[in-house]
Chains A and B, each alone.
Chain A
Amino acid sequence: MKLRLDQIKKTLGNRLVLDGISLDVSQGEMICLIGASGSGKSTLLRCINLLEPLDDGAIWLDGHDIATPGLDPQPVRQKIGIVFQSYNLFPHMTALENVLLAPRRITKKSRADLMPHVGELFERFGLSQHMDQYPDQLSGGQQQRVAIVRALAMKPEIMLFDEITSALDPELVGEVLEVLKALKREGMTMILATHEMTFARDVGNRVCFLDRGRILEQGPPEQVFNTPKEPRTRDFLARVLNRG
């Protein structure tokens, strides 16, 4: 088991956002979290990356509970990358500077030492000619791919994706989803919150339906999409699938 979530609870304000989430994630697995806005998908991902402290429960990564209160979150975050819906690139840095910042500060390696790996990442995701551009000179799809490269540059063991295509124009969604497919082929362990149902069905290993801070139903995509057991899952799927 790569990652195990054990009864995670989280309140924001006085709203219970995560109400006892448990989930086992194997090495190389792609988990797709689906569910309505406010069902807790984003908060769950932010908790796994330790951007939000848990109220209760544990997160086991390679046998260590990374959610132990008071633990230094920095080494954990280096192992778990996250990409956000709104890209969150640093606007005052070029694409390359965005990507190099964390590896340079954390590994203390020189730019020359890092360039082979980083250059290859840019190359692989078709961004080589955009290295020296600033985020506002890039399209949404390019920005999001740079954000993915930035997270990958830290050589994480797990990647979290928080609705990374939701802010994109429809014609740009494809190029970002291609990146996810490539990562899956390479065996990256991934958890993504997504509204791309077709993608979840075709590419995901497992789909979890979140509802009011709980995993109401989970299983292989064909099972969850074709024969959902819970009425609330059926309702949700009927609403999102009929739309497009």
Chain B
Amino acid sequence: MTTPSSGLTRRQEYERRQRRRSLVIAGSSTALIILAIVLLVPLAPGWERVQNSFFNAEVFAKSFPKLLSAFLVDVAIFAWSAPLIAILGLAIALARDVRNPVLYPLRLFGMVYTDVFRGVPVVLVVYLIGFGIPGLGLPRPWNSPYIWGTVALVLTYSAYVAEIFRSGIESVHASQRSAALSLGLSSSDSMRFVVLPQAIRRVIPAQMNMLIALQKDVALLSFIGPVEIFRQAGVFKSLLANFTPYVVAALIFLVITVPTTRLADHLISKQNRARS
């Protein structure tokens, strides 16, 4: 057997040729499509109008700084609701698992909770809680829609997050629990030290997806008052009679969500590889 001068095996030579070939094909077909879009779309009769109201550079420059600072409101809401969701979600998941009859009400509550909050559209919960509770005439700062809007998000998302935690708990093989119990550990210790750590690790990718969805749903609070990015964009739209601020807002969201999505995908594929 002779090895080619390049030091590669025949197989490696072949695979390298194939890789080069597919790279060239993928590159040229992508270039072709982009070229077609760039050349053809501006030929559409309404292009100039669309370009002016959605991709207006002047409006972009004018609205960008304020939109960015409004986005900080979104980030703040997100930052303090995410940990609350994680804690409440885990508590609900565990409540649904209790076997002690004294604690049955807790279990029932967990069940009703997840059913109700997963069954109602987020925007409705935001409206009902965000307008309803401040309507009770609570003193400042407890009448702030900022607070109650966030509470609405926390309640809704906790229901989904709880279900994911529960599926994680159920995915840990029963033999792990048996092994823990057989050593004389209590069932709460078995859950806390043996089952939960494994369950949580397994559902991290799925929970990342919830995190991404939450980042976007923060914009729903705009309906009840807080001037976050979506509402700020609306203000600009009315002021400048132009839709570009919405495009700016979308771009700002993408800057945050795309990396998180990539990270989540990366975690999922890493986990799949580890399992196989």
Contact = CB atoms under 8 A, between A and B. Distances in A.
B185 interface: yes
Interface stretch (B90-98, B124-132, B191-199, B265-273): B191-199
B184 A102 contact: yes
Which of B182, B185, B186, B197 gathers the greatest number of chain A CB atoms within 10 Å? B182
B178 A105 contact: no
Interface string B165-202: 00000000001101111111110010001100110010
Contacts of B185: 74, 101-102, 105-106
A102 B193 CA distance: 10
Contacts of B178: 46, 51, 84, 88
B193 A88 contact: no
B176 A154 contact: no
Nearest to A49: B182
Contacts of B201: 92
Nearest to A90: B194
A91 B181 contact: no
Contacts of B197: 92
Nearest to A79: B184
B182 A81 contact: yes
A75 B179 CA distance: 15
Nearest to B200: A92
B183 to A, nearest CB: 4
A151 interface: yes
B191 to A, nearest CB: 12
Nearest to B193: A101
A77 interface: yes
Interface string B135-177: 0000000000000000000000000000000000000000110
A150 B183 contact: yes
A170 B178 CA distance: 26
Contacts, number: 59
Nearest to A101: B193
Contacts of A82: 182
Given A84-B179, A86-B175, A105-B189, A91 B198 contact: yes
Given A51-B181, A91-B198, A92-B198, A74 B186 contact: yes
Contacts of B186: 74, 105
Contact of B183 (A46, A86, A92, A154): A154
A101 B180 CA distance: 9
Given A101-B193, A105-B193, A90 B176 contact: yes
Interface in A83-119: 84, 86, 88-92, 101-102, 105-106
Contact of B181 (A77, A92, A151): A77
A102 B185 CA distance: 6
A243 B198 CA distance: 40
A78 interface: yes
B183 A88 contact: no
A77 B182 contact: yes
Contacts of A105: 185-186, 189, 193
Contacts of A77: 181-184
A106 B175 contact: no
B184 A74 contact: yes
A92 B194 CA distance: 8
A88 B185 CA distance: 15
Given A77-B181, A101-B183, A154-B183, A88 B189 contact: no
Contacts of B175: 84, 86, 88
A88 B173 CA distance: 10
A154 B193 contact: no
A61 to B, nearest CB: 14
A115 to B, nearest CB: 18
Contacts of A154: 183-184
Contacts of B184: 74-75, 77-78, 102, 106, 154
Given A51-B182, A88-B178, A91-B198, 9 more contacts: A73-B181, A84-B175, A88-B175, A90-B194, A90-B198, A92-B201, A101-B193, A101-B194, A105-B185
Pairs of residues from A and B, 8 with the lowest C-beta to C-beta distance, nearest first: A78-B184, A88-B179, A102-B183, A77-B184, A82-B182, A88-B175, A92-B197, A105-B189
29 contacts: A46-B178, A49-B182, A51-B178, A51-B181, A51-B182, A73-B181, A74-B184, A74-B185, A74-B186, A75-B184, A77-B181, A77-B183, A77-B184, A81-B183, A84-B175, A84-B178, A88-B178, A90-B176, A90-B179, A90-B194, A90-B198, A92-B201, A102-B180, A102-B183, A102-B184, A105-B186, A105-B193, A151-B182, A154-B183
